[in-house]
């Protein structure tokens, strides 16, 4: 699942969030805007959470 944000904020524009769809609760967290998976954007790759069996 990906999300593209066309904001002018360099932390968010453009960005893709990559996360494990099979891990219980991850989809709900992503919908709520909570930190889940890895953010890939202009600043490179930024982990959004501890990589625990993602």
What is the per-residue pLDDT for 38?
A: 85
Distance (Å, whole) CA 40 – CA 19: 11
Tell whether the model's pLDDT for residue 2 goes beyond 90.
no
What is the per-residue pLDDT for 21?
A: 92
Distance (Å, whole) CA 44 – CA 40: 6
* E strand or H helix at 45: strand 44-47
Q: What digits encode the pLDDT tens for the residues 3-50?
A: 555 555 555 567 788 899 999 999 999 889 888 888 887 767 667 655
Domain ranges of the chain: 15-47
Distance (Å, whole) CA 16 – CA 5: 8
Distance (Å, whole) CA 27 – CA 31: 6
Tell whether the model's pLDDT for residue 1 goes beyond 50.
no
Query: Does residue 17 contact residue 39 with C-beta atoms inside 8 Å?
Result: yes
């Amino acid at each position: 699942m990906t999300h593209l944000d066309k904001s002018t904020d360099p932390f968010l524009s453009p960005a893709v969030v990559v996360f494990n769809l099979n891990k219980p609760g991850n989809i709900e967290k992503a919908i709520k805007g909570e930190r889940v998976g890895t953010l890939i954007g202009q600043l490179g790759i930024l982990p959004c959470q501890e990589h625990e069996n993602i």
